[in-house]
A and B are shown apart, each in its own frame.
Chain A
Amino acid sequence: MTLSFTEPAPAPLLALEGVGKRFANTVTALDGLDMVVRQGEFLSLLGPSGCGKSTALRLIAGLADPTAGRIAWNAAEADRRSIGFVFQEPTLMPWASVFSNVFLPLRLAGTSRKAATPAIEEALEMVGLTAFRDAYPRELSGGMKMRVSIARALVTRPRLLLMDEPFAALDEITRFKLNNDLLEVWRRLGCTIVFVTHSVFESVFLSSRILVFRARPGRIAAELEIDPNQPRDEVFRTSPEYVGLCREASKALAHAMEAG
């Protein structure tokens, strides 16, 4: 497999080449999608509802197969690719404690509870839920449930974390807090994150790169790079640079929606 890139620095993790997805009811969700996910980046897919960004995420995860084109993994990564997936809803098992929910991916992989305990405790510590390991999902707030969901995705130490509008249903205060904590986890683990969102502000705050999608059929309309070394904190959230970048992203999104 050969991949050619003009960018010198970050190596590609995977590439979507001419990917199309048509559903049985003849809805074309994606058409001719070309995109690259670079190693270690925080990539946001930004677009209106129904633009196929979630479909793209499911294709990368292997939860669905493209009807056209292909998804090429970097040969060096292909054999040890591991994926964590965070859904829009927390998607926890209501019958299991927080600990058991986070244990799930390791348990399914055949790891014993005892052997998995350090990894589970570390994942819970990363999302700040150490004290709630024996609680049941029912007893947690929406934000805490989403934290459990993130801990579950992190417990296998995935190379690639796929997140499908994970914070869309949360209130703004909780969302800001989780944004900060997610960036902290990203820096600490050095994993690659692909983050689907329809919030301009969220994508600009989090990402090192944004792909703006247009709808019907879904494809990429614009690309925005944001300096990854830019500190992302409360100062940044109110800075003129941030506002400028948001304006730029909003304009690209508005343009994409007109074109669609």
Chain B
Amino acid sequence: MEHSPFRWLLPLAVLALALLGWDLIVTLNKLPPYILPSPALVLETLVKDHVVLLNSMLVTLRTTGIALLLAMLGGVALALVFATSRIIEFSLFPIAVILQVTPIIAIAPLMLIYLDTDTAVLFCAWIVAFFPVLANTALGLKSVDPNLRDLFRLSGASAWQTLVQLKLPTALPYFLGGLRIAGGLALIGAVVGEMAAGSAGQGSGLAFRIVESAYRLNIPRLFAALLLISFSGIVIYAALSLLSWLVLRRWHESELGGS
């Protein structure tokens, strides 16, 4: 099953059937496009409006990318601080948790009051992407094999050597796992931020196009924008999975096939 062509064919067949069903519902019920456009019309709109939509996609991807990068740097940096000082960890971790569990959609309008639109959207994307990187990296830094730690001590390793040659490599798979989650969340954060900004009539990202299309009852374009958001999510996930595979394929269980 693992290498059989059915692994690719079956999901594709299910997808094709779903699209066919969608098309049949539209044509049989003679639904107007402002209620539910046919898949063909969505594709047509995607091609027709590609300049506007692709520009919006670039805006959203840029926000997501920068947010992810900042989340990565900030998450790893804070995890390292946590690893060196338990007091700082005790003091700051609950705040990180509060930021994480408060729904971003509830924070976004506030951010739009205090920050300019782009920064506010970026902040929303960053704040949700930050936590999984922090939590996973902190966990990884704590997961060092105690025997290896003893071996480093016995060999007279400095704190720096222990960090670079033992703690960071140990934390790497955890960090990459966190990054994969953070990638999806950064996109969600960016979309939420753009939605909030969009309802205030500002913005240019994909989510703003959705809000705008909904106001104008341009449902085919709404679907086209939705399609692109979904596509962006897949691309981000695939890129981070590829990164993880490239880094871990020689040694980590998670990236070794079932051979």
For residue B152, which residues in chain A have a CB less than 8 angstroms away from its CB?
Answer: 108
Residue B5, interface by CB 8 Å? no
Residue A17, interface by CB 8 Å? no
Residue A42, interface by CB 8 Å? no
Residue A63 contacts which of B148, B153, B165, B252 (CB distance < 8 angstroms)? B153
Residue B49, interface by CB 8 Å? no
B residues 138-156 with Cβ under 8 Å of A? 145, 147-148, 150-156
Main secondary structure of the interface of B (DSSP, over half): helix
Across the two chains, which residue of chain A brings its CB closest to B248?
A95
* Interface size of B in residues (CB-CB distance below 8 Å): 21
For residue B151, which residues in chain A have a CB less than 8 angstroms away from its CB?
Answer: 85, 87, 91, 104-105
Residue B256, interface by CB 8 Å? yes
For residue B172, which residues in chain A have a CB less than 8 angstroms away from its CB?
Answer: 95
A residues 82-96 with Cβ under 8 Å of B? 83, 85, 87, 89, 91, 93-96
B residues 210-259 with Cβ under 8 Å of A? 250-253, 256
For residue B166, which residues in chain A have a CB less than 8 angstroms away from its CB?
Answer: 93
Residue B251 contacts which of A61, A83, A87, A138 (CB distance < 8 angstroms)? A138
Across the two chains, which residue of chain A brings its CB closest to B168?
A95
For residue A137, which residues in chain B have a CB less than 8 angstroms away from its CB?
Answer: 251
Tell me whether B169 and A93 are in contact (CB under 8 A).
Answer: yes
A103 to B166, CA, bound (A): 14
For residue B155, which residues in chain A have a CB less than 8 angstroms away from its CB?
Answer: 104-105, 108-109
Interface residues on A, range: 20 to 34
Tell me whether A91 and B145 are in contact (CB under 8 A).
Answer: yes
A residues 194-232 with Cβ under 8 Å of B? none
A93 to B252, CA, bound (A): 11
Residue A108 contacts which of B150, B156, B256 (CB distance < 8 angstroms)? B156
Residue B150 contacts which of A85, A105, A107, A138 (CB distance < 8 angstroms)? A85
A150 to B155, CA, bound (A): 15
A150 to B207, CA, bound (A): 59
For residue B150, which residues in chain A have a CB less than 8 angstroms away from its CB?
Answer: 61, 63, 85, 87
A61 to B151, CA, bound (A): 10
A63 to B151, CA, bound (A): 9
A-B contact pairs, 28 of them (CB 8 A): A61-B150, A61-B154, A62-B154, A63-B154, A85-B150, A85-B154, A87-B151, A89-B147, A91-B147, A91-B148, A93-B166, A94-B251, A94-B252, A95-B169, A95-B250, A96-B169, A96-B251, A104-B155, A104-B165, A105-B155, A107-B165, A108-B155, A108-B161, A109-B155, A109-B156, A136-B250, A137-B251, A138-B256
